[in-house]
Amino acid sequence: MSLGKGTLSNTSTKQKLNTHSSTETELVAADDFMPVILWTNYFLEAQGYGHQDTILYQDNQSAILLEKNGRKSSSKRTKHLNCRFYFITGRIHDNELSVEYCPTEEMIRDYFTKPLQGKLFYKFRKRIMNLKE
């Protein structure tokens, strides 16, 4: 999670359930992180700070469709998903959150979850540490 140009918090944990596809994995991960996003927004509001847009970046187009449209975008490969994973859909419709596509090469969370090397490692390290590029 970032605030302004800096990193506010990060977490990397193993998911507690098995998933069948990368789309399902992304949907479960978004659902797992929703309480942190909402708590941070409510905390900032309680402290008197307004926040502009809360954006969840995704690199999986199918997950974005499911998050925005819920079961309406479901197919035979995703119809088994538990409705709890569509909690994010209600938050998007209430304009508390938006989901946007971010190409994998720009996905800063990879710095925390994958062994990066070379230019990509240095690029993300500079962004996380708020250094000039």
What average pLDDT is seen over the chain?
78
Asked whether residue 54 falls in the same domain as residue 92, the answer is yes
What b-and-e string marks burial along 48-63, b requiring 16 or more CB atoms within 10 Å of the CB? eeeeeebebbbbbebb
DSSP letter for 18, please. Answer: -
- The per-residue pLDDT for 101 is 92
Range of the domain at 59: 21-101
- pTM here is 0.70
pLDDT digits (tens, 9 = 90+) for 8-42: 766 666 767 777 677 777 888 888 888 888 888 88
* pLDDT interval class at 92 (50, 70, 90): confident
Q: Are 26 and 81 in contact (CB under 8 A)?
A: no
Asked whether residue 114 falls in the same domain as residue 127, the answer is yes
Domain count of the chain? 2
Asked whether residue 83 falls in the same domain as residue 131, the answer is no
